[in-house]
Every structure is written in structure tokens, then in C-alpha cells.
Amino acid sequence: MNFKLLATSIFLLFLCHASWAGYHMIAEVADVKCLSQSSLNNDLITRVGIKVEGATHEEMKQLSQFIQSLIELTNEQQAIHLLSGLKVVFKDILGDTSVGSCLPAHQLVRNQIHIGRFCKSSKGKKLVIPYREGILIHEMGHFVANKHGFYGQYKASVKRKCKLSPYMSKMSNGKKHRNRNEEFAEVFASYFLYGKKLRRKCRKSYAFFKERLFLDNNSNCL
Ligand SMILES: [Zn+2]
């Protein structure tokens, strides 16, 4: 596996549960009411070319509702174009976690999104990872960017950085991201979950997604 590609697709968000206060990611302020409230459609997931492993009924439903939202925003053909070839793997705990921190998701395997449900506290207790619905959509943004080479295009055409969420520019520990890949994934999530603010505060980012990803359709979350 090409290391450069791997590095750009990793999503490492370490949530410090002890001191986690205030909002950091779009997932935390997400308006999930903006998403389709359709019932689980297994057929739809298959039709757009997504494979799933280890999902509960609720997780399948959330995935299905995101796909339905994308289809409502664009059309089924575009959903297939953007998402086909993806595998989503749901697990209780993702790998080893350091004390008091947590890895909610990663894309260390090409074309796969791995999503965790819990992290372990220092006492070995399982803690439920919050905002997983929004995190899944953020991860979808990384997948779409990797699949279609959007990171480079975004950086070249949107000169002004979008700073809608703190996570767009830095990790929860304050360390700055080395590239704008997290910004891209956050803008992607915002288009579905926080569209009104995105359009107002990051006009160029909004326009890029509208034209290049969503067939010139406005966010359904305005
Ligand atoms: Zn990310």
C-alpha cells in the first residue's frame, strides 16, 4: 500500500473523555433531523455498491438513511458514482487505545471505513462513543475524496480555509493538521448536517461541494 495515500486517508481523532467539553467536530452540532428519516433499506445499500460487516440494525438504518439523503440531494446514479466500492466495518473497539483516549473511526484499510462503538476508560470500563451518526458521514467524506481525488482539487480551488468547526484545523489536543483533508471531511458532513451555517460562513467551500459533488443542488439542511 502506498504510504502517502494511506496517510491522507487516516482519520485519527482521539477523544479525551475526561476533559471533552464544548464542540469540536461538526458531528457534535449535527442536525440529524436534516437527514432522511426513511426506514432501513438493505436493498439500497447493496444497489449503491456498499458492503457492510458487523452492523446492528440501528447502524444499518443510519447508513441507509445517509445514502437516502445523498440520493435525495442528487440521484441514485450519483450516489453510486460517489460511494460504490466502499466497505463499512462496525466493531465494538478499534484496536488498542491509549489510556483515557479513544479511536472512533479510521480508514487504515483501503476502501474501508472502520467504525467503533466503545472505548476503554483507564479502569477498563467501556465508554460509548457519542455522535457516531455524524462521524460516519465525516468518514464518508474521506472515502469520497480518496476515491475521486478531491483533496487536491479542493485545495487548489478553495483558497480560503473553512473554519466552521475547530476540528477543521486542529486535533482535540490543539495540534494543527498537516493538510486540509479533515477540513474536507468536515465540510462534507456540514453539507448534510449543518448546511445553513456552512453556506453563510464558508461560501467557497459550499460552492465547491455543490458543483463538484452534488450536481449543483443546495444542501437539504438550509
Ligand atoms: Zn477525518
Each residue's pLDDT tens digit, 54-74: 999 999 999 999 999 999 999
Question: Ligand 1 centre and the CA of 12: distance in Å?
Answer: 7
Question: Ligand 1 centre and the CA of 171: distance in Å?
Answer: 10
157's CB contacts (< 8 A; 6+ apart) are 204, 208
Of the candidates 129, 122, 125, 126, the one whose C-alpha atom is nearest the C-alpha of residue 98 is 122
**What is the β-pairing status of strands 112-116 and 105-106?**
antiparallel
Question: Ligand 1 centre and the CA of 190: distance in Å?
Answer: 13
User: What's the pLDDT band for 23 if we cut at 50, 70, 90?
Assistant: confident
Q: Are 150 and 184 in contact (CB under 8 A)?
A: yes
Each residue's pLDDT tens digit, 86-122: 999 999 988 765 555 678 999 999 999 999 999 877 7
Question: Ligand 1 centre and the CA of 205: distance in Å?
Answer: 17
Question: Ligand 1 centre and the CA of 11: distance in Å?
Answer: 4
> 71: part of which helix (H) or strand (E)?
helix 57-73
Query: What single letter denotes the amino acid at residue 107?
Result: Q
Percentage, residues of the chain above pLDDT 90: 77
43 SS3 class: helix
Question: Ligand 1 centre and the CA of 54: distance in Å?
Answer: 21
